[in-house]
Homo-oligomer: A and B are copies of this chain.
Amino acid sequence: MWREIQGCNNWKGLLDPMDSHLRKEIIRYGEFAQSCYDSFDYDPHSKYCGTCKYQPSHFFDKINMLKKGYEMKRYLYATSNINLPNFFQKSKMSNVWSQHANWMGYVAVATDPEEIKRLGRRDIVVAWRGTVTYLEWIHDLQDILHPAHFRDDPNIKIETGFFDMYTKKENNCHYASFSAREQILAEINRLIEKYQGEELSITITGHSLGAALALLSAYDIAGKSITKIIPISVFSFAGPRVGNLKFKERCEELGIKVLRVINVHDKVPTVPGISYAHVGAELALDHHRSPFLKPNSDLGCAHNLEAHLHLVDGYHGKVRAFRSATGRDVALVNKDSSFLKEEYGVPPFWWQDENKGMVRTSDGQWVLPERPVIEAHPPDTAHHFQQVLKLARARLNLP
């Protein structure tokens, strides 16, 4: 399966005729992206607002994803001190876990021998969180291209907001003291060292703004000597454009496989503007084709990740009849939307914690319990990041 995805130069039309194995793979990676929403603390009344609700070691258990056979390796954070104010979640409390950081996703690695055998290699997955429903951040996207000076060519440019989110850090904050870029490059280096001699793959997935970060980080990683022989793929859901034509061409030169799953009614893939180029093959879905979904829903619905996964599961090209390729539960669509037709009897926005996480103590008082402190960054982060830069410099014969 993995080789099939990797080996395909043009994903267009890949789902015609329907290939249920490929659908399953797209959904599998989409669920990694979705897990970043399902585990995120959005509650401004929680002092943990903006972080992941679960400890890394419990993550896949809490999110019902143990069966995927992956192990959590590291959480990724970005600083919110950048020019995308409507994207970050801020607590209203004074005593908070961090004033400057938001949890942005994670790096995990396949550890189940069966899964490694099935894939034909050990897969490293990176999942980036995006935005579930709020689209205000689109308006904050400025049509300003920033040189992507990870490498030599100054003509390769990307959207400033994405560049900032990926590269900015905040020394005053424990969690944002390394940029998202430093965190991910360090972790990839560490894992490559750890699994030296094994066949590896890197698969990066994200939805919305997370899709932009997925492509950006794939581009960054692919240019590093450390990953020369490791195939890098991106599963992008409802992603905006990221960079200019030069950026797109460079991504192609680097051999990054990108599948862009979009809904034709979603506006996000049309931003920021025409100075930008999409990268990769497009799998265009149309929510009007699903008999389960309200045809005239709002833009938030059209952008919803669970709805995309539902359409991947059962989209039949020209045929209107909907048949599920994987038996995926349609109720999942309404987890964080009101997109399902009411006749299916699934409550809208049903994914919620009991009592918003309030628990009753032994003396009968209701409180938001303290959570264990999550390690900000492994102590070897700086070392591994420097290692990546050193190898890159060596390759380019720079001092």
Contacts and interface: CB of A to CB of B under 8 A. Distances in A.
A243 to B, nearest CB: 39
Contacts of A347: 43, 45-46, 356-358, 368
A158 to B, nearest CB: 37
Interface in A334-365: 342-343, 345-358, 360, 364-365
A39 B370 CA distance: 28
Contact of A329 (B46, B332, B348, B365): B365
A48 B58 CA distance: 34
A395 B345 CA distance: 53
Nearest to A47: B345
A331 B348 contact: no
A345 B368 contact: yes
Interface in A361-376: 364-368
Contacts of A355: 350-352
Contacts of A349: 356
Interface string A193-212: 00000000000000000000
Given A354-B354, A366-B332, A342 B92 contact: yes
A43 B348 CA distance: 10
B45 A345 contact: yes
Contact of A358 (B64, B350, B356, B357): B350
Nearest to A350: B356
A229 B67 CA distance: 67
A63 interface: no
A356 B365 contact: no
- Count of identical protomers in the assembly: 2
A111 to B, nearest CB: 22
A93 interface: yes
Nearest to A91: B345
A348 B348 CA distance: 19
A356 B345 contact: no
A342 B92 CA distance: 8
Contacts of A45: 342, 345-348
Contacts of A360: 64
B331 A358 contact: yes
Interface in A21-58: 43, 45-47
Contact of A345 (B93, B342, B350, B354): B93
B356 A352 contact: yes
Question: What are the 5 tightest A-B residue pairs by CB atom distance, in nearest-first order?
Answer: A354-B354, A45-B347, A350-B356, A331-B366, A347-B356
Given A347-B356, A350-B366, 17 more contacts: A45-B345, A45-B347, A45-B348, A46-B345, A94-B343, A329-B364, A331-B365, A331-B366, A345-B368, A346-B368, A347-B358, A347-B368, A349-B356, A350-B355, A350-B358, A351-B355, A352-B353
